[in-house]
Amino acid sequence: TQLLEQSPQFLSIQEGENLTVYCNSSSVFSSLQWYRQEPGEGPVLLVTVVTGGEVKKLKRLTFQFGDARKDSSLHITAAQPGDTGLYLCAGAPTGRRALTFGSGTRLQVQP
């Protein structure tokens, strides 16, 4: 059983469309992170959310941490082909030392 469930697993959209990716758990997290991974490379951190209910914006990307700190979402506005990649959420449940990664959402944005 995955500690962090991501949905959808795959998403193929046209340039200019909006999308939302979800990261859910039954566990409480002290913080959650979102990474993006491009083919042949390691993941790169996009954002860390720490406070329940927190919303962070990074240009066209909006990240939200659930009030109960069990879930998070990533919303992309007006997607571009450069947004193509694997999006991973990651967090350490309260009391654990190491990060757990979700299974990822593979996004393809068609020009």
Partner 1 sequence: NAGVTQTPKFRILKIGQSMTLQCTQDMNHNYMYWYRQDPGMGLKLIYYSVGAGITDKGEVPNGYNVSRSTTEDFPLRLELAAPSQTSVYFCASSYAQSGYEQYFGPGTRLTVT
Interacting residue ranges for partner 1, rule: CB under 8 A? 6, 30-31, 33, 40-45, 48, 50, 88, 90-92, 96-104, 106
Nearer to partner 1, 29 or 109 (CB): 29
What's the sign of the alpha-carbon dihedral 88, 91, 96, 99?
A: positive
Q: Which is nearer to partner 1, 10 or 111 (CB)?
A: 10
- Supply the minimum distance, in Å, between the C-beta of residue 101 and partner 1: 4
Q: Which is nearer to partner 1, 37 or 73 (CB)?
A: 37
Q: How far is the CB of 67 from partner 1 (least distance, A)?
A: 18
Give the nearest distance from C-beta 12 to partner 1 in angstroms. 14
Tokens of 56: 């962070």
User: Nearest 5°: phi and psi at 89?
Assistant: -100, 155
DSSP H helices in 21-95? none
Distance CA 65, CA 103 (A): 18
Closer by beta carbon to partner 1, 79 or else 87:
87
Q: Min. distance of Cβ 72 from partner 1 in angstroms?
A: 14
- The alpha carbons of the chain give a radius of gyration, in whole angstroms, of 13
CA dist 20 and 88 (Å) reads: 13
